[in-house]
Amino acid sequence: MDLSKKRLFLLDLDGTIYLEDSLLPGAAEFLEDVRAHGSAVRYLTNNSSRGVDAGLEKMRRLGIPAEREEFLTAVEATVHYLRTSRPAGEAYFAVGTASFCRQLRQAGFDIRETPDDDVGAVLVGFDTELTYRKVEDACRLLCRGVDFLATNPDLACPTLYGFMPDCGSICTMLQGAAGREPHYIGKPDPNMIRLALEQTGCAQSEALMVGDRLYTDIACGVNAGVDTALVLTGEATAADAAVSPTPPTAIYQDMAVLLAAIREARR
């Protein structure tokens, strides 16, 4: 992999750029450097608990300049999937935050908060406002036979204290209760990367996917045919990468070490 040829950096956020409200080592310097050299940045996040506006506000609060068009989220991927792959006018029971439901309604979808007879699918996101009532209603619908959709398979979201259950863990609970497997929409599906390549006009060989999860971030890059870099600041370890069915092209301790490798490659 020739890092000097990369001009599109596809970056995960949680566990890669920051943990909660703390920037990870080298993240700010990395972003400043690649922008100064004319490279494009796209933030690819499976976090569906908040919208792009919240993501923008957080980055700016952390002192990182960011633009709306740089964010490609699981919600946007979900909107695209629902518009292109599901029946028009279908009703969805959402297991997600108020922000998640609001974004879907603003996109024109019929989002329900009760297990109505005309609901066509259960749609699960990273729900930091999860209640047992939502779980029970989702199971009622799944046992009835409606479709099971989810924004992403991430099992854990990294925090300063360790990890908290993400969308994949919620789905595992529902799967265990209802005996149904979900269709996952976000990473590792390659559509977010394909959209980023289209937006920037970059070739696959010019892109680098950087993330902390093997089965979402790195697998997404592999599925899209781009080089990948695993950073060890979140979920995965080097030992995990050694046995992964989708190993990364390279492994770096953090964004600071990746930046040093890019600078060395430019010489």
The predicted-structure confidence for 201-214, as pLDDT tens digits, reads as follows 999 999 999 999 99
86-184: CATH topology is Rossmann fold (3.40.50)
pLDDT tens-digit readout, 231-251: 999 999 999 999 999 999 999
Helix 74-85 to helix 191-200 angle (10° resolution) is 100
Which own/partner pairs from 1-4 qualify as long-range (CB within 8 Å, at least 24 positions apart)?
Answer: 1/208, 1/227, 1/249, 1/250, 2/265, 3/208, 3/261, 3/262, 3/265, 3/266, 4/262, 4/265, 4/266
3-46+187-266 is a CATH 3.30.450.20 domain = no
Which residues on adjacent β-strands are paired with residue 95? 124
pTM, 2 dp: 0.81
**pLDDT of amino acid 41:** 97
Would 3-46+187-266 and 86-184 be classified into the same CATH topology?
A: yes
Cα angle at 204 between 195 and 49, to 5 degrees?
A: 40
Average pLDDT of the chain is: 94
Any idea what DSSP says for residue 54? H
Pairing verdict, β 227-231 and 250-252: parallel
Read out DSSP for 216-228? IIIHHHHHHT-EE
Query: So where are the chain's domains?
Result: 3-46+187-266, 86-184
Q: Is the dihedral of CA 156, 16, 212, 35 positive or negative?
A: positive
